[in-house]
């Protein structure tokens, strides 16, 4: 049977075809008949190693597939479209010429390099390079020009290059429904910008935002800002932050029942960067700033803007869009208003100084605020009270937030050396500001809804409908009761509330294993948040409506919201209609999602380097997140990474002896050992396999068969 599909390689040399409809993007499934058994319905097909060679990740293909009791298998493949323009891998000496051995996430099988590349790659065998892809006369991929590298394999620079090409290539404009045109971009220009940015990031560069023209339509261009320069406000951010896009003003008379008056000032990017200007088109294409552990960040806007004239630097007049609101004694947000204003930040404080201030040591804040130390202390007192009230109110909401464990350490380059650092060194100071920013986003969303202003909202439906069957099975396995889960008409809040109540009950009864099972499956069953022009309930925060407002320097979605706000405040026609916003939502979800994947991929690969250098000497705590025939999926919460323990290592089998686990229908439990989802185990790092992936074994015999 003939099918259309997108190819996704596996680092071990084989791959899978993910079936798509005629548009080349919409997932679909097919039913293939068999002569020796019942027909097979599937949405993917296995590609054996010989056939996978030379096919690149995300290639659109036409394939012939057959069915057996294991599913569908491809027997022949024809390339239809090849969206990836960049390839990454290591230089190898092929028969009489240099070749590229692609990273396993890109493809398998040697790729020829243009003869013109021989000289620049002399002595580069075994090193990582990024090349521009072309095709030879037979349609096979060909490395045409050197873009980045050579880098020492396993170096942080190589990790960044590989991560950029692998992650951002998944969001090439041709791979996004509607493409660049739906987002108001010229497809050819967007593809060129995308390719250029991938190359620049792979080479450690800062992107291509510098020097772009900002002239274009400014919504609310005639708005006169309110003069708020006499109102004390502060910026609070990390010590190395350059793009300061938010400042906080807060006052409170000290009475327990009196409201805290809060103003969150956000850099007025929409008043400077015109719609469809060169700067705007670039920002729309990349969607967000890329923050990476290796090398320079890649700003969405020209650093002269994002780190200069728009950044809310202390003792500088700045134009902002402000949301003003009161926080009641009960933590509710009232009296919301939005305005354009002119402000002057009194001081730039760091999270570290605020952390010390919260612990009772006011000296760092006094030093950082200088002559404005008293004012800074007054604003912080009021901001802390607002944050405390918001925290109490937020803690009362029905959310899974408390179930997620944050990483304690993360890899970073410090003075050019790769090492592990504390992931959240100033957690209290960060949480104070985070609560205020979340409140600002909620307040702006409520303002937009109240004034019938369409915008890009954050939609989060809570539990993923496709994972409810597995969650129901986990509830039964844990001996818990969540009646709403069995009713398809139940409100998501009711399901979440009952589930959290059962987790609390199991905890109180000391049924730790059952509690851990529910926590692991519940956190793995949450849906991803997305942009949507409809102000749907944001169940991840239990918020009636939520938007992104606080980071227009760093996120294009926030810039869109700011433009709608400026037009609404000015009483003008809105720059974006509902259809425009719907198309932008799809585009920005894909583009910003790729940036998130880039950062996660880089972090995971940097951990692999640190682990290979002996970072872990002792067994490391881990949680089983899935049970498969081939082994245990695990998460190392302290490191914030996922991993895998093969069935052979879990069962303690001798080398070269194959093993498998007997599992239930939902991948929750196994009869092959004392493990199920949620099991708390310890593991030891074994090493890196031949694909560069980390390998693990159980840490102690108590966690399972040795």
Out of 335-344, 399-408, 574-583, 588-597, least confident range: 399-408
Residue 485's pLDDT is 85
Helix, strand, coil percentages in the chain from 3-state DSSP, rounded to 5:
35, 30, 40
Residue 702 pLDDT grade (very low, low, confident, very high; cuts 50, 70, 90): very low
Asked whether residue 333 carries a pLDDT value surpassing 70, the answer given is yes
Residue 106 resides in a domain? no
Please indicate, yes or no, whether residues 262 and 347 belong to a single structural domain of this protein: yes
Strands 694-698 and 680-688 turn out to be antiparallel
Whether residue 510 sits in one domain with residue 409: no
Residue 318 domain-assigned?
yes
The DSSP annotation for 513-565 comes to: HHHHHHHHHHHTTBPPPEEESS---BTTTTBSS-B--S-TTTBHHHHHHHHHH
Same domain, 297 and 365: yes
Are 648 and 690 found together in one domain? yes
Q: Both 469 and 499 in a single domain?
A: yes
Sign of the CA dihedral running 346, 349, 355, 359: negative
Number of folded domains that form the chain:
4
Confirm if 625 and 524 have CB atoms less than 8 A apart: yes
Note whether residue 216 is domain-resident.
Answer: no
Burial class (CB in 10 A: 0-12, 13-18, 19+), 505: middle
**Helix, coil or strand: residue 659:** coil
Domain boundary (574, 604, 634) is at: 604
pLDDT at 538: 45
Q: What is the pLDDT averaged over residues 365-373?
A: 95
Point out the domain boundary residue: 580, 604, 628.
Answer: 604
In which band, very low, low, confident or very high, does the pLDDT at 361 lie, cut at 50, 70 and 90? Answer: very high
CA nearest 406: which of 389, 390, 422? 422
393 and 431 housed in the same domain? yes
Q: Catalogue the E-assigned strands of 94-163.
A: 98-102, 111-113, 128-135, 141-151
Q: What is the pLDDT of residues 311-323, one digit of tens each?
A: 999 999 999 999 9
- Tell me, yes or no, whether 540 lies in a domain: yes
- What's the pLDDT band for 541 if we cut at 50, 70, 90? very low
**Residue 137: per-residue pLDDT:** 85
Cα–Cα dist 43/47, whole Å = 13
Residue 154 covered by a domain:
no
**Spatial separation of the C-alpha atoms in residues 655 and 362, rounded to whole Å:** 59
**Confidence band (pLDDT; 50, 70, 90) for 139?**
confident
Task: State residue 32's pLDDT score.
Answer: 95
Domain end residue (candidates: 527, 546, 562) = 527
Query: pLDDT tens digit string along 253-306?
Result: 999 999 999 999 999 999 999 999 999 999 999 999 999 999 989 999 999 999
Mean of the pLDDT values across residues 159-168?
97
432 and 293 inside one domain = yes
Residue 668: pLDDT band by 50, 70, 90 thresholds?
Answer: very high
Asked if residue 181 is part of any domain, the answer here is no
* Residues 510, 398 share a domain: no
Question: Distance between alpha carbon 351 and the CA centroid of its chain, in Å?
Answer: 23
Q: Is 466 exposed, middle or buried (0-12, 13-18, 19+ CB in 10 A)?
A: exposed
Of 158-167, 170-179, 541-550, 590-599, the one with minimum mean pLDDT is 541-550
Establish if 97 belongs to a structural domain: no
Q: Are residues 407 and 548 in the same domain?
A: yes
Q: What is the CATH number of the domain that holds 684?
A: 2.40.50.140
Residue 520 and residue 558 in one domain: no
Average pLDDT over residues 148-154: 95
pTM: 0.93
Say what the pLDDT of residue 700 is. Answer: 65
pLDDT of residue 395: 64
Residue 474 and residue 430 in one domain: no
Residue 86 lies in a domain: no
pLDDT of residue 462: 66
pLDDT tens digits along 56-87: 999 999 999 999 988 999 999 999 999 999 99
Domain interval for residue 331 = 226-457+535-604
If asked whether residues 273 and 350 sit together in one domain, one would say: yes
Q: Which of these ranges, 96-110, 251-265, 387-401, 668-682, has the smallest mean pLDDT?
A: 387-401
Pair of tokens at residue 346:
């009194």
Q: Which residues contact 595 (CB under 8 A, 6 or more apart)?
A: 167, 168, 286, 287, 288, 290
């Amino acid at each position: 049977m003939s099918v259309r599909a997108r190819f996704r390689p596996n680092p071990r040399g084989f791959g899978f075809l993910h079936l798509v409809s005629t548009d080349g993007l919409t997932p679909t499934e097919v039913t293939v008949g068999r002569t020796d058994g019942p027909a097979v319905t599937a949405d993917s097909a296995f590609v054996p190693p010989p056939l996978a060679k030379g096919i690149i990740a995300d290639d659109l293909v036409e394939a012939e597939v057959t069915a057996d009791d294991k599913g569908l298998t491809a027997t022949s493949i024809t390339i239809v479209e090849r969206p990836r323009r960049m390839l990454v891998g290591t230089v190898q000496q092929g028969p009489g010429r240099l070749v590229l051995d692609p990273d396993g996430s890109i493809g398998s099988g040697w790729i020829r390099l243009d003869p013109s590349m021989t000289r620049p790659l002399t002595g580069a065998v075994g090193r990582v390079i990024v090349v521009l892809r072309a095709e030879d006369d037979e349609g096979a991929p060909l490395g045409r020009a050197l873009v980045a590298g050579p880098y020492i394999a396993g170096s942080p620079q190589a990790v960044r290059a590989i991560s950029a090409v692998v992650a951002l290539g998944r969001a090439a404009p041709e791979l996004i429904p509607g493409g660049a045109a739906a987002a108001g971009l010229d497809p050819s220009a967007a593809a060129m910008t995308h390719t250029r940015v991938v190359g620049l990031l792979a080479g450690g560069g800062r992107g291509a935002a510098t020097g772009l023209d900002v002239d274009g339509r400014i919504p609310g261009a005639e708005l006169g800002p309110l003069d708020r320069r006499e109102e004390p406000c502060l910026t609070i951010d990390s010590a190395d932050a350059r793009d300061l896009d938010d400042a906080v003003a807060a006052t409170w008379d000290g009475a327990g029942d009196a409201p805290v008056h809060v103003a969150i000032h956000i850099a007025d990017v929409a008043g400077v960067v015109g719609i469809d200007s060169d700067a705007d088109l670039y920002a729309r294409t990349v969607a967000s700033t890329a923050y990476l552990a290796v090398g320079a960040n890649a700003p969405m806007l020209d650093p002269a803007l994002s780190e200069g004239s728009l950044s809310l630097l202390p003792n500088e007049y700045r134009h902002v869009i402000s949301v003003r609101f009161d926080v009641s004694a009960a933590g509710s947000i009232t009296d919301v208003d939005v305005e354009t204003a002119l402000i002057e930040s009194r001081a730039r404080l760091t999270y570290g100084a605020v952390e010390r201030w919260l612990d009772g040591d006011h000296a760092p804040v006094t030093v950082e605020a200088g002559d404005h130390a008293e004012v800074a202390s007054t604003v912080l007192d009021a901001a802390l009270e607002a944050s405390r009230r918001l925290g109490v109110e937020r803690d009362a909401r029905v959310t899974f937030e408390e179930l997620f464990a944050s990483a304690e350490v993360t890899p970073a380059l410090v003075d050019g050396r790769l090492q592990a650092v504390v992931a959240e060194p100033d957690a209290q100071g960060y949480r104070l500001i985070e609560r205020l920013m979340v409140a600002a986003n909620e307040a702006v969303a409520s303002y937009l809804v109240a004034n019938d202003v369409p915008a890009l909202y954050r939609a989060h439906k809570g539990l993923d409908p496709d994972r409810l069957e597995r969650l129901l099975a986990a509830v039964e396995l844990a001996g818990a009761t969540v009646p709403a889960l069995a009713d398809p008409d139940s409100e998501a809040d009711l399901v979440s509330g009952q589930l959290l109540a059962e987790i609390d009950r199991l905890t109180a009864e000391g049924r730790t294993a059952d509690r851990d099972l529910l926590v692991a499956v519940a956190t793995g069953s949450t849906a991803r948040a997305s942009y949507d022009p409809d102000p749907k309930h944001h169940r991840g925060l239990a918020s009636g409506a939520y938007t992104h407002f606080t980071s227009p320097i760093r996120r294009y979605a926030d810039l869109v919201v700011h433009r709608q706000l400026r037009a609404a405040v000015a009483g003008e026609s809105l720059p974006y209609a509902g259809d425009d916003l719907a198309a932008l939502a799809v585009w920005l979800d894909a583009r910003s999602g790729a940036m998130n994947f880039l950062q996660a991929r880089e972090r995971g690969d940097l951990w692999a380097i640190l682990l290979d250098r002996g970072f872990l000497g002792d067994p490391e705590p881990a949680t089983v997140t899935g049970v498969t025939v081939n082994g245990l999926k695990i998460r190392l919460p302290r490191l914030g990474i996922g991993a895998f323990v093969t069935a052979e290592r879990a069962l303690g089998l001798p080398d070269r002896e194959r093993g498998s686990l007997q599992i239930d229908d939902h991948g929750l439990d196994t009869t092959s050992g004392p493990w199920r989802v949620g099991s708390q185990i310890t593991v030891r790092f074994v090493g890196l396999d031949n694909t560069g992936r980390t390998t693990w074994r159980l840490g102690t015999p108590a966690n399972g068969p040795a």
